[in-house]
């Protein structure tokens, strides 16, 4: 959709439209937030700006000049960031078992990245992608207490709508070009992305994070490149290499060990 090397649809405008649609669909759920305190509303909006605006805007712009292999490596740091941030908040070091699971999962990400091609990217794109990953890790650590107090559905609605506002502001200038360039099939895909990854996935993630805790939930982020690998093979007919199968095995082992 957004292409590579600055080709394709305007990235900021595209991500703004996607999350703007999700925000509109979430609006009816905001009525429950009327019982929140002002502090809770401000905190929920801040979480949305960190996890929705910051992560998505930086990631989609960075991905235009960073290869799939490098993107996988950089995003593979998210579970480690969550572990480290959680350790800082608890003021104690992560357990040795946790660090071992992290190392196994990161090794799997490295193998998948090698299999997907050269891990290349310009310095700015790498910095944007890595900063986006850090912002998502911050969101994962901050939001669980609010979800426990107010519920995943309402918190997701507040975070989504608050996070959509900066995205709409950032992508506003590119929307005329976007609307002119998008085809009917691209609009269908955009709506599907808004309903699936932006709404349903976010609700499930927030509920799961509140139930498991940020650290245990964070390990499932290692499954993202593995799902991409399987989807590329099943839907796009992309070849799967032995090194990628080995990487996928290490990722599954890492997630299994982290939940024990």
Q: Is residue 185 part of a domain?
A: yes
pLDDT (0 to 100) of residue 179: 92
- Mean predicted confidence (pLDDT) in 81-91: 84
Q: What is the pLDDT of residues 121-171, one digit of tens each?
A: 788 888 998 899 999 999 999 999 999 999 999 999 999 999 999 999 999
Q: Provide long-range contacts, Cβ within 8 A and 24+ apart, for 164-169.
A: 164/16, 164/19, 164/20, 164/22, 164/23, 164/48, 164/52, 164/53, 165/53, 166/49, 166/53, 166/57, 167/12, 167/15, 167/16, 167/19, 167/20, 167/52, 167/53, 167/56, 167/57, 168/16, 168/19, 168/20
Reply yes or no on whether the pLDDT at 7 is more than 70.
no
- Mean predicted confidence (pLDDT) in 186-195: 94
Q: Is residue 3 part of a domain?
A: no
Task: Share the mean pLDDT of the chain.
Answer: 86
pTM (global) more than 0.95: no
pLDDT (0 to 100) of residue 119: 63
Reply yes or no on whether the pLDDT at 233 is more than 80.
no
Q: Is residue 119 part of a domain?
A: yes
Residue 134 lies in domain: 11-258
Residue 84's pLDDT band (cuts 50, 70, 90): confident
Domain count, the chain: 1
pLDDT (0 to 100) of residue 196: 94
pLDDT (0 to 100) of residue 116: 65
pLDDT (0 to 100) of residue 10: 84
Q: Is residue 2 part of a domain?
A: no
Q: Is residue 145 part of a domain?
A: yes
Give me the residue label for tokens 């991905």.
63
Q: Is residue 86 part of a domain?
A: yes
Q: For residue 167, what are the CA distances in angstroms to 23, 137, 227?
A: 11, 19, 27
């Amino acid at each position: 959709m957004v292409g590579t090397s600055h080709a394709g649809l305007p990235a900021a405008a595209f991500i703004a439209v996607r999350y703007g649609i999700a925000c509109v669909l979430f609006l009816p759920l905001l009525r429950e937030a009327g019982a929140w305190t002002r502090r809770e509303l401000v905190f929920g909006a801040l979480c949305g700006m960190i996890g929705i605006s910051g992560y998505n805007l930086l990631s989609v712009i960075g991905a235009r000049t960073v290869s799939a292999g490098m993107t996988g490596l950089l995003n593979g740091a998210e579970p480690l960031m969550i572990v480290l941030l959680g350790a800082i908040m608890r003021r104690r070091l992560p357990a040795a078992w946790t660090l071992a699971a992290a190392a196994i999962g990161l090794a799997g990400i490295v193998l998948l990245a090698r299999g997907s091609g050269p891990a290349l990217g310009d310095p700015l794109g790498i910095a944007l992608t890595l900063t986006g990953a850090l912002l998502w890790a911050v969101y994962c650590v901050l939001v669980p207490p609010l979800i426990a107090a107010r519920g995943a559905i309402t918190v997701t609605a507040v975070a989504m709508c608050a996070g959509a506002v900066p995205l709409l502001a950032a992508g506003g200038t590119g929307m005329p070009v976007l609307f002119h360039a998008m085809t009917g099939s691209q609009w269908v895909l955009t709506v599907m992305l808004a309903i699936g990854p932006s709404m349903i996935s976010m609700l499930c993630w927030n509920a799961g994070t509140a139930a498991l805790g940020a650290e245990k939930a964070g390990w499932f982020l290692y499954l993202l490149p593995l799902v991409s690998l399987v989807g590329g093979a099943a839907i796009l007919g992309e070849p799967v290499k032995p090194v990628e199968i080995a990487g996928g095995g290490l990722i599954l082992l890492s997630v299994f060990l982290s939940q024990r």
